[in-house]
Amino acid sequence: MPADPMHTESAKDDAAEAAAAAALTAALPDLEVVVHPLVLLSVVDHYNRVAKDTKKRAVGVLLGSKYKGTVDVTNSFAVPFEEDSRNPSVWYLDHNFLESMFGMFKKVAAKERIVGFYSTGPKIRENDLKIAALFKRFCSDPLYVIVDVRTGVEGMPTTAYRTAEEVEGEGKEIQTTFKHVPSSIGALEAEEVGVEHLLRDINDPSVSTLANQIKHKMAALAGLRERLEEVQTYLKAVQSGALPVNNQIIYNLQDIFNLLPNLNTEELVRSMLVKTNDIHLVIYISALTRSIVALHDLVLNKIKYKDLDDTGLPEEGDKPKAAAATNGTKGKEGEDTSKGKGKDGEKPADKK
């Protein structure tokens, strides 16, 4: 039976579109975003001035440079931005302000270029793809960095994205989506000195180093729990058919599960028990050593002040008694209470 020419042509078109989308996505080089402390401080200041205690978000421009797959975001500035909370398709960004500010920044630091834009999120919104399309006028591959300014959130405050072309849906249409990019916090030597100077007044000296370490461990465990809950939610959504299967995510999850130790192996269980016992032994010896050193200091203190105890000096609690024995010849109101003596110390005559 001969093949349908229309069906063959449509299959070729779909294959061509898929190949083009795959080529576009594969052509994107790997990037790593490094956000500097000055950018974080500027974003927090922008949010506190514009959108603090509201449901609004602050949007601005990121400045920096690219070198060998690393984007250093070294500076930023705020841009007037408004969006309608009831109608997400209505938004406004001041182009003239952006161009004039970038012109002034370029006069100060000629090496800094526009590398993307930021927002205080804390999540991606519908307008972000349109804003990314707008920023392609200023840079070919704009980055989108979400800076989480919420005070109660622990962990990395930045999340970076870039636009990518993907094929989604049954119609094999090419759509623009955000692709996650690894991000980190980095600083130059001069910036590290400034950050340490700013954090000097924030650190609580009454909290010990051990307490800070325990706090960081608890924060890390809380972040791990949130990531595991996200993985669980995603797997349940894929299983129920609410989300499509992403093979790259499944491969990464399989690699994570392969790194977990097999607790059913007897040698591994025995080695973990030995390691735990060794750690507990070290802690026990440390506690004994600390107690012995404290007792030794107490004995040396007693020996040092033994001579002062042997001199017989009155202790602090005996001083009022000694004073009372010295002035015991007088009564309550200063009268002479000595027996057998007169006014001048003579013995009074017997009365007849």
Give residue-wise pLDDT tens across range 77-101.
Answer: 999 999 988 887 889 999 899 999 9
Q: How is domain 7-203 classified at the architecture level of CATH? A: 3-Layer(aba) Sandwich (3.40)
Query: Between these two residues, 202 and 229, which has the higher pLDDT value?
Result: 229
- Find, among 61, 71, 77, 68, the residue nearest to 181 by Cα: 71
Q: How confident is the model at residue 314 (pLDDT cuts 50, 70, 90)?
A: low
Tell me the C-alpha to C-alpha distance, in Å, between residue 319 and each of 152, 180, 217, 329, 341: 59, 79, 56, 18, 29
Query: Between these two residues, 116 and 31, which has the higher pLDDT value?
Result: 116
pLDDT in tens, 282-297: 999 999 999 999 999 9
pLDDT in tens, 163-197: 988 776 565 677 888 999 999 999 888 888 887 77
The residue assigned the tokens 């129920």 is 240
Give the least confident one: 131-140, 267-276, 329-338: 329-338
pLDDT at 121: 83
In whole numbers, what is the pLDDT of the chain averaged over residues? 80
What phi, psi does 349 have (nearest 5°)? Answer: -80, 155
Per the CB < 8 A criterion, the answer to whether 336 and 329 are in contact is yes
Say how far apart CA 43 and CA 150 lie, in whole Å: 12
Per the CB < 8 A criterion, the answer to whether 33 and 73 are in contact is yes
What does 205-268 look like in DSSP terms, one character per residue?
TTS-HHHHHHHHHHHHHHHHHHHHHHHHHHHHHHHHTSS---HHHHHHHHHHHHHS--TT-HHH
Residue ranges per structural domain of the chain: 7-203, 207-260, 265-303
Joined together, the tokens standing for residue 331 give: 């009564």
High-pLDDT (> 70) share of the chain, %: 75
Mean pLDDT over 237-265 rounds to 88
